[in-house]
Chains A and B, each alone.
Chain A
Amino acid sequence: MNNVLTIAPLLLPMLSGVLLLSIKQNIKLSTAVYLVSSILQFIVSSILLFTISESKFFVMHIGGWEAPFGITIAIDIAGSIMLVAGSFVSLAVALFAVNTVEPRRLQFGFYGLTQFLILGVNGAFITGDIFNLFVWFEVMLISSFVLLSLGAGKEQLEGTIKYVLLNLVSSAFFLMGVGILYSATGSLNFAKIASVAILNPDNSLLTLSTAFFIFSFGMKAAIFPVFFWLPSSYHTPPIVVTALFSGLLTKVGVFSLIRLFTYVLPTQQQEFSFLLKVLAGFTMVIGVLGAIAQNDVRRLLSFHIISQIGYMIMGIAIGTAASFAATIFYIVHNMLAKTNLFFAAGIQNQILGTYNLKKSGGLYKTAPYLSLLFIISAFALAGFPPLSGFPAKLTLISSGFSAGEYLISGVAIMVSFFTLFSMVKIWNEAYWKELIPERSAGSNTNKMMYLPVILMALAIIGTGVFFQPIYHLLMMAAHQLSTPELYINAVLGEV
């Protein structure tokens, strides 16, 4: 049974993707299949998380070809946490999509494409082979290209071209990094690379390839100074696509960086710690300052993604077990809060007919429940207790202080204030301000649109309030991440 469970995160989206593409003309049927498949994926990844334990990995050698030669799928606790969070986000996105995406886009195969996107994301979370990781990135990118440009308007195509071009550059660097790494270690398998790298940490080729990977993953994660593609493309597609991307894509970049510095090249973390700290600081500050300057909700939130990525990079830069645990929770928290804010922005657009903050207002009066849901997500992002952002920031910053990284932790605290400020900006403009009279309100909302937003808000509160058991899980995940020997043994067998 374990072998089915290990491959299920890949198999389910693959099967449902093909099925959904083949029945894309029948909207009712494909909607039903889409929802059932999304729920099933969430259930399966939850089962995976419950059955995995500290010293155990779910390992599968594809095609039965043993570890250093074949492609390995290895699920650890961190990976399964990401799978659960990812499938939860995609479930919420599914619930939102069935109520908002117009039939024209559905007939182009919108549902099937999101499944292929999730296939790529899941693959990147659980693969144990660096070239296979590249392949999953490509699967993810190609489906995201199509999702971005689907049903294209002029503005949407412009955003897509920027996105495609920069991601291709990033992929090229990734591939070069893989090539260098292969020449240095003679393997593509994470565990094998790690075991060679630990014995021979001074090889300068390893440093070189790490630099290539940081550039490539950093570009995909949108860290300073290669973040500019994100705000110029994320606001163009339908809001549900933006929500899906913001929940999953950049996080895959960050998670791959975690993988890189824990299982693949654990010895390189020290060498790049300073660089990562500098990048993290700039990413945080510039992202949040960019956000404050925006007047379009989607652009504001897009800049915000960048700022939040800075926190995650900070956790990787500190590099202790506690900071890895904090980073993983930060990613989860951010997936929930950020996706939910995009949902709220989508509903705001449905009510007011605009994303422009200058032209909106009065939502507090016309949509009090939306206001509540928005406040929950916004306060979570700013780090208010008892929401998920509070333990996320607390564990991250305290891990920074206990590692003696006072400067970057101080910057992180300061950026939190700016985060709150930018959230208050949305609140003031869209919710608190009196509505400009000529705009008609409350025209075309569907009650079902609130369902995913409520689900996400509950998850935000839940992960914040019941943080104790989650923290225990996170520490187990961090223990695995900071002890690469466990991983090497699990994949290569006892050596």
Chain B
Amino acid sequence: MNSLILKTTVRFINKLLLLFSVFLLLRGHNEPGGGFVGGLVASTVFILYTLSEGYKEALAYLKVSPFSLIIVGLTTAILSALPSLFLGDAFMKAIWLETRIPIIGKFGTPFVFDLGVYFLVLGITLSIVLSLRKDSE
């Protein structure tokens, strides 16, 4: 698609959407949001870019392959479940830091898990959408 309006809008809206996805990720523990929704919103950034610029340009914009995002996400999520195990407690039990971290707020293993989900969802959505787009181009 070659539309000047779309291209210009996407250039402006992309940063906002990325910021919004991070906001969703951070507020997700007790409020609507979280890694899954955040990842979906983040993937729309690149999907919009694919629509306005094209498949190859979107891959270049992403810089890493969607598949490596999947691996990073899965690994992060699994690793977040392990610390409690080594403290002699149940698998996946939440461990929270006492002190609050600026911006993130309350930090603990559930946040790391959510971060993993964020990358996993981003990677999977993009690998599906981009491979569909690749076929149509």
Residues of A bordering B, CB below 8 Å: 3-4, 6-7, 11, 14-15, 18, 21-22, 60-64, 73
Contact = CB atoms under 8 A, between A and B. Distances in A.
A62 B91 contact: yes
Contacts of A3: 85, 88-91
B73 to A, nearest CB: 10
24 contacts: A3-B85, A3-B89, A3-B90, A3-B91, A4-B85, A7-B91, A11-B91, A14-B78, A18-B71, A18-B74, A18-B75, A18-B78, A22-B75, A60-B91, A62-B91, A62-B92, A63-B91, A63-B92, A63-B93, A63-B94, A64-B84, A64-B89, A64-B94, A73-B91
A73 B78 CA distance: 17
A64 B90 CA distance: 5
A127 to B, nearest CB: 13
Given A3-B90, A7-B91, A22 B71 contact: yes
Contacts of A73: 91
A369 B52 CA distance: 64
Given A3-B90, A4-B85, A64-B94, 4 more contacts: A11-B78, A14-B78, A62-B90, A63-B92
Contacts of A61: 90
A64 B92 CA distance: 8
B71 A15 contact: no
Interface in B65-114: 68, 70-71, 74-75, 78, 84-85, 88-94
Given A4-B85, A7-B85, A18-B78, A60 B90 contact: yes
A6 B85 CA distance: 11
A411 to B, nearest CB: 45
Contacts, number: 40
Q: Is the interface of A mostly helix, strand, loop or mixed?
A: helix
A11 B82 CA distance: 9
A62 B93 CA distance: 7
A21 B70 CA distance: 10
A11 B68 CA distance: 21
Contact of B71 (A14, A21, A63): A21
A18 B68 CA distance: 11
B81 to A, nearest CB: 8
B88 to A, nearest CB: 6
A138 to B, nearest CB: 15
A4 B71 CA distance: 24
Interface residues on B, range: 10 to 19
B42 to A, nearest CB: 21
A329 to B, nearest CB: 31
B90 A63 contact: yes
6 closest cross-chain pairs (CB), A and B: A64-B93, A22-B71, A63-B92, A7-B91, A64-B90, A18-B74
B101 to A, nearest CB: 22
Interface in B15-44: none
Most B CB contacts (10 A, CB to CB) among A3, A6, A21 go to: A3
B84 to A, nearest CB: 7
A11 B90 CA distance: 13
A48 to B, nearest CB: 15
Report which residue of B85, B89, B91 has the largest number of chain A beta carbons within 10 angstroms of its beta carbon: B91
A3 B92 CA distance: 11
A382 B78 CA distance: 44
A8 B94 CA distance: 19
Contacts of B85: 3-4, 7
B75 to A, nearest CB: 6
A60 B85 CA distance: 11
A11 B84 CA distance: 14
A73 B89 CA distance: 14
B58 to A, nearest CB: 23
Nearest to B89: A64
Contacts of A60: 90-91
Contacts of B78: 11, 14-15, 18
A482 B134 CA distance: 57
A156 B6 CA distance: 43
Which of B74, B85, B90, B94 has the most chain A CB within a 10 Å cutoff?
Answer: B90
Contacts of A6: 91
A2 B78 CA distance: 19
A37 to B, nearest CB: 14
A63 B90 CA distance: 6
A75 to B, nearest CB: 13
A21 B74 CA distance: 11
Nearest to B94: A63
Nearest to B110: A63
Contacts of A7: 85, 91
Contacts of B94: 63-64
A345 B126 CA distance: 41
Nearest to B88: A3
A18 B89 CA distance: 24
Contacts of B92: 62-64
Nearest to B92: A63
A15 B79 CA distance: 9
A61 B68 CA distance: 32
A307 to B, nearest CB: 39
